[in-house]
Structure 1
Amino acid sequence: MAVFCAIQTGFIGLDSVRAGILSRIATVYPDPANTYTFLGKHYSTAGRPKDAVNACEKLVQITPDDPLAHVLLGNAYGAASQPQVAANCYLKALELDPNCYEAHVGLGKARFVLCEYAEALQAYERAVKIRPDSAHAYVSLGLVFSNLGRYEEAMQAFKQAKELDPDISEVQIRSGKACLEAGLYNEAIARFKGAVLCDQGHAQARYNLGRAYLRAGDTALAIEEHRILERLDPVLADQLLDLIEK
């Protein structure tokens, strides 16, 4: 009864309770693949990368021929700041299914973090061929083009993303905030930068990009976002300045 009341009042998250129950069930249930899939996703979202890795490692042991199991493991290692291990997981998924969209996207993300932009470009280009209606893939493609200095192609990719999903900037911001709270600062920066490049006058995106730069220890870039914000939204500019001066 006490646990029920705590859930109702918000002191205990329902997903956390479910995760605790399922982690026990998984040890005795005859087919725990779905359980470990949930646990891996839950722990990743909750900012518990080690637990996510452990759950996904068990998932891969149970279903070694499932490419999506290897993708989940790659996602967990990526969240645990082990991009090279993550890349290997995505490559294993692609051995099992060369047309696995999620594996190409994950591989692109891992290569991007490793600053292997040419390889990241190949992965994202393959992803958009497999799923040409994915706005997120085009955002990622645009970021890689931008880092390679291919700005016209970058803007074309961002334009395509915006045409596919007019709300893509808002989605990027929401996902960037989640990454920021989980301590994934570089990932948050990439999400907010994608939102800014899709809509360069988006004040909330620039404010959050400034916050992410600060969390990552790059005050100079945070100050640059403040300078831009002064024109777009003086209130948000002042809020960012307060964070910079703390």
Structure 2
Amino acid sequence: MTQEPAVEQLIARGRDALARSQYLSALDDLQAAATQRPGFADVQNMLGLCLSMLGRADEALAAFGRATELNPGYVEAHVNQAITLNDLGRVDEARESFRRAAEADEAKGGRFPSAAAARIANLHRELGDAYEQAGAPEEAVAQYRAAVGIRPQFLDIRTRLGRTLIEMGSLDEAAAELEAVLDQNPGFAQARANLGLARFRAGDLDAAEREWRRCLQQQPGNAQVSAYLGMLERRRGEARSA
């Protein structure tokens, strides 16, 4: 008789498959793990990420909800729930989930109260935007870094930081920031598109193509990424001609 995999093995396999964007495979293992250990908040959060990536948003929200019920201080699950709600256009509910994430983060110990921290981070972002529009990317990066230092879970700001670093030619730093975003939210398509651009400009065309292909799997109609892939094919054609 075949022995069922231990729950730890199922979780490890599911986490590995999720990291490699093999969402159906991850889903099978994580659902089996959740059946055996329904009280594991981390399994519920990863299950929610898989379901979200597969376009099953309502089921994803249920999983994130279970994760936050099991662990009310689970910042990442609150953030993932907020992102999914926002993608569904449920903006008020998303705002509430972000508020809970900020409160949970504050409870872990922070320099500022959550509301003040969010406001200060967004002020740094606005100043960074102004510097970038004025053609001062170094000053923009300093402001974005200040914002991320206060609120690292504000992934949109971290993505702006990564894009500005690309424009400055700081490709390794940009890739590190964008990879940090994708560690928290593998479905953040703009961050993945920018990571592909960082790889492309660094000359790693294969890595760039992998990121952009994954973007199109998540967002089949993404015109920007389709344009990037066209640019990549032209570069390869030029190399072959040369």
Q: Calculate the TM-score normalised by the size of structure 2.
A: 0.54
Once the two structures are TM-superposed, the CA of residue 164 in structure 1 deviates from its matched residue by 6.3
Q: Alpha carbons of 1:129 and 1:36: their partners in 2 closer, same or farther (altered >3 Å)?
A: same
Q: Which amino acid in structure 1 is aligned with residue 93 of structure 2?
A: E
Q: Is the 8 A contact 1:74 1:90 kept in 2?
A: yes
Residues 19-75 of structure 1: per-residue CA shift (max 9 Å, x gap): xxxxxx9x445xx12111111111111221111111111111111122222112112
Equivalent residues in 2 for 1:62-81, closer than 5 Å: 62-81=36-55
Q: Does 1:90 align with 2:64?
A: yes
Q: Does 1:37 align with 2:26?
A: no
Once the two structures are TM-superposed, the CA of residue 121 in structure 1 deviates from its matched residue by 2.1
Q: Which amino acid in structure 1 is aligned with residue 148 of structure 2?
A: A
Mapped partners of 2:16, 2:234: distance in 1: 35
Once the two structures are TM-superposed, the CA of residue 177 in structure 1 deviates from its matched residue by 7.8
Q: Which of 54, 57, 60 is the aligned partner of 2:28?
A: 54
Mapped partners of 2:23, 2:35: distance in 1: 18
> Aligned-pair RMSD on alpha carbons?
4.6
Q: Is the 8 A contact 1:172 1:192 kept in 2?
A: no
Match of 2:79 in 1: 105
Match of 2:240 in 1: none
Q: Secondary structure at the match of 1:37?
A: helix
Q: Is the 8 A contact 1:37 1:56 kept in 2?
A: yes
Q: Does 1:127 align with 2:101?
A: yes
Equivalent residues in 2 for 1:112-191, closer than 5 Å: 112-132=86-106, 155=126, 159-162=146-149, 169=162, 170=174, 171-174=176-179, 187-189=188-190
Q: Structure 2 unaligned segments of length 5 or more: list them.
A: 128-142, 163-173, 202-207, 236-242
Once the two structures are TM-superposed, the CA of residue 153 in structure 1 deviates from its matched residue by 8.7
Percent identity for Structure 1 against Structure 2: 14
Q: Does 1:242 align with 2:231?
A: yes
Once the two structures are TM-superposed, the CA of residue 190 in structure 1 deviates from its matched residue by 5.0
Q: Which amino acid in structure 2 is aligned with residue 242 of structure 1?
A: M
Once the two structures are TM-superposed, the CA of residue 245 in structure 1 deviates from its matched residue by 7.6
Q: Is the 8 A contact 1:75 1:86 kept in 2?
A: yes
Residues 211-243 of structure 1: per-residue CA shift (max 9 Å, x gap): 68x944343x569xx9xxxxxxxxxxxx88735
Once the two structures are TM-superposed, the CA of residue 98 in structure 1 deviates from its matched residue by 2.1
Q: Which amino acid in structure 1 is aligned with residue 48 of structure 2?
A: G
Q: Secondary structure at the match of 1:131?
A: helix
Q: Is the 8 A contact 1:192 1:205 kept in 2?
A: no
Q: How many residues align?
A: 178
Mapped partners of 1:115, 1:78: distance in 2: 14
